[in-house]
Chain A
Amino acid sequence: MSVKTDKIDRLSELSAVKQEEQGVSLWTEAFRRLRRSPSAIIGASILLIFVIVAIIGPWVAPYSPTDTIGIREGVVKSGQGIIPGASAEHWLGYDHQGRDLFSRMLVGARQTLLVGVISTLIGLTIGAIIGGIAGAAAGLGGRVGRWVDNVLMRFVDIMLALPSLLLAVSIAALLGASLTTVMIAVGLVSVPIFARLLRGAMLAQSGGDYVLAATSLGVTRRRIALTHIVPNSLAPVIVQATLTLATAIIEAAALSFLGLGNPDSSVPEWGVMLADAQSYLGIRPGLAIYPALGIIITALGFTLLGEAMREALDPKLRK
C-alpha cells in the first residue's frame, strides 16, 4: 500500500516543511504566489462565474426548468425524433421533455455545485475524523495510540484497495438511486484520501519544533493537537478538497450515467441531464454537449485552482 499512499503523504508533508523553512506565514506566502499564477487566475475566474450562476441562476432563468412547454405546445415530439433546436425564445432549444434547455442549464449549475460541495464535505468530514484520530493517536499516544492508528489505517487501506467508481456504484446500489445517495457515494469514496492526508500532515507537524516547545512547556496533548497541529495541517487538506470537488462532479455524472443518479428531474443537475440525453444523441447531440461542457469547464476550474495552490505550497517547485 505504501506506494499509492506516498503521493498523498507527500502532499501532507508540504505544510510542515514550509513552516520550518520560513518565518513568513504559510498563507500569506502562498497567496502571494497564487496571485501571480495564470492558472490560478483562470481557475478562480471560472469558479467565480460558476458560483455566480449557481446563486442567481434560478432567478434569471427565462423559463421554469420543469415546465414542459414544448410538449404542451406540441412542438416537441421526442418519440418521433423531433426536438427543435435553438431559437430566439429558447436560446439552446428544448430538451427531450419540451423544457427550456437554457433555463435548465442555469438552474442546474446550483445543483451541480451543491452535489460537488456536499459530497466533498462528507468525504472531508469523515476522512478528517478518521485521519485526525489516527494522527493524534500515532503522534502523541504510546502503545495504545499506535494500535488505534494501525487499525484505522488498515481500514483506510481496505477502502483504497477497491476501485473508487466500483465503490461508489456499490454504495449507490445499496442505498437506491437518489440525490442523497449520489452525494454519500461520491463523498465516501474520497474518505480514505482525506484520512490518509490529514494523518500524514499531523504526523509531519508533530515533529515540528513548536510542538516540542509546547510539550516542554507542559501544554496538554489534547490542547496541542487542537490548537497547533490541526490548524497547521489544514493547508494540504484545502488543496485536496479543491481537487476533489472536480472529481466529485465528474463522478456524480458517471453515477448518473450508470442509472444511479438523482431520479427527480424537477431540479436539474448537469450530470443527470447528460445521462438523460443518451437516448436522444442521434437527434439532438446538444442535449448532451451543453451539460458535458458545463461539467468539463467547472471541473477544469477546480483542477486549475487546486493545482496552482499545490504548486504555491510546494517548496520544490518554487525555483
Chain B
Amino acid sequence: MIRFIVRRLLQLIPTLFGLSILLFTWLHRLPGGPETAILGERGTPELRAQIRANLGLDEPILVQYGRFMQRMLKLDLGTSISTKREVTTEFIERFPGTVELTVMAMIIAIGVGIPLGYLAARRRGSFLDSASVGGSLIGICVPVFFLAYVLKAIFSEQLHLFPSSGRQDPTLGATRITNFFVLDGLMTREWDAALDALWHLVLPGIALASIPLAIIVRITRASVLEVLSEDYVRTAKSKGLTESTIRGRHILRNAMLPIVTVIGLLTGGLLSGAVLTETVFAFSGIGAFLKDAISNLDYPVLMGFIMIIAVVYLLVNLLVDVSYSLIDPRVRVR
C-alpha cells in the first residue's frame, strides 16, 4: 500500500511539471503581457520597458522559466497585482471558505442523494423513482447561477430565512484562528458566530450541491439496481434476513464502491472553487477570487492558485484511489 502511494506521488511530478510549462507559456502569451496588467491605464512605453526589465522579461524564455520554477519550489508565489498582498496569504484566507462550502454541499448531496437513489432503486418504476430520476436530470440542466439567484430571491429576499451573501455577519466581530469560520466559532466557544457561519453556508451549499446531488442519486440508483439483481441478495432474502440487514450488509455495502468513487471526484472538483456560486453569493472563496484574477490578469495569483489547485485535486484523486482499495479488498492496488 505504501509503495503504491509513493509511486502515485512520484507520478504527480511529471504531471505538475507539464502543467507548469503549460501555465508558464500561457501566461506569457497574455495580451499586453504582465507589464500592462501592472501599469493599467498609466502605462507609457518607457514605464512598460522598465517593468519588463525589472521582471526579467527581456531575458531568454528558458532562463525565465528556470527562475519561475526556482521560486515555485521555494513556495514563493509572489504578490497579487490587484490586492498587493502575498499570493500564499490570499490563498490561506480564501481556501477555508471554499472547503467549508464544499463540505456543506457534499453533506447535502450525500445526505439526500444516497437515500433517494436507494429508495428509487428499491421501488423501481414508482412515482418516487421517476420523480428522483427526472429531478436529477433537471438538476444537471439548470445553470447554477440561475438556481442561485432563484434561491436567494425566495429564501432571502422574500422569506428572510437565510442570509443572501457572505460567510458571516461582520457585526459579530468573531475571532479568527484557522479561517474556518465554523471551526473557529467552536474552538473559541463563540457559538453564535459558529451558528451564523453555518447559516451562511446553507443557500450556497444547496446551489452548489445541485449537480453532485443529481449525479449521486443516479449513480446510487444504478449501482443499487445492479446489486439487487445479484444472487447473494436473492439468497439473503430467501434466508429470511430482515430488511435492514439486507440493506446494510448486502446492498449498500456492495453498491458503495462506485458511489464513493463519484463522491471523491466531485469533492475534488468542488475544492477547486465554485466560480459561479461564490460569485453570486459574494462568498469569499478561491473560485470568485480566481475569476477576478482572470479578469484583472493578475498573473501571480493565476499561476499560484492554479498550481495549488492542481496539487489538491490530484491528491484528492489519490485519496479516492486509496479508499477504493480499502472499501473493496478485491480491488488490488496496481
Contacts and interface: CB of A to CB of B under 8 A. Distances in A.
Interface residues of A, number: 42
B77 interface: no
A296 B138 contact: yes
A169 B18 contact: no
Given A4-B265, A258-B279, 10 more contacts: A1-B317, A4-B317, A163-B273, A174-B26, A246-B140, A246-B141, A250-B143, A296-B143, A299-B141, A307-B137
12 contacts: A1-B314, A3-B264, A157-B15, A165-B276, A169-B291, A173-B294, A174-B29, A246-B140, A254-B276, A258-B276, A288-B146, A317-B222
Interface residues of B, number: 49
Interface string A1-27: 111101100000000000000000000
A45 interface: no
The main secondary structure of chain B at its interface with chain A is helix
Given A3-B265, A250-B141, A257-B276, A169 B294 contact: yes
Interface of A: 1-4, 6-7, 154-155, 157-158, 161-163, 165-166, 169-170, 173-174, 176, 246, 250, 253-254, 257-259, 274, 281, 285, 288, 292, 295-296, 299-300, 303-304, 307, 316-317, 319
A154 B145 contact: no
A6 to B, nearest CB: 7
Interface in B6-47: 14-15, 18-19, 22, 26, 29-31
Nearest to A175: B31
A3 B143 contact: no
A304 B143 contact: no
A257 B143 contact: yes
Interface string B139-167: 01111111001000100000000000000
A4 B191 CA distance: 39
Nearest to B218: A307
Given A161-B314, A170-B294, A300 B273 contact: no
B229 A170 contact: no
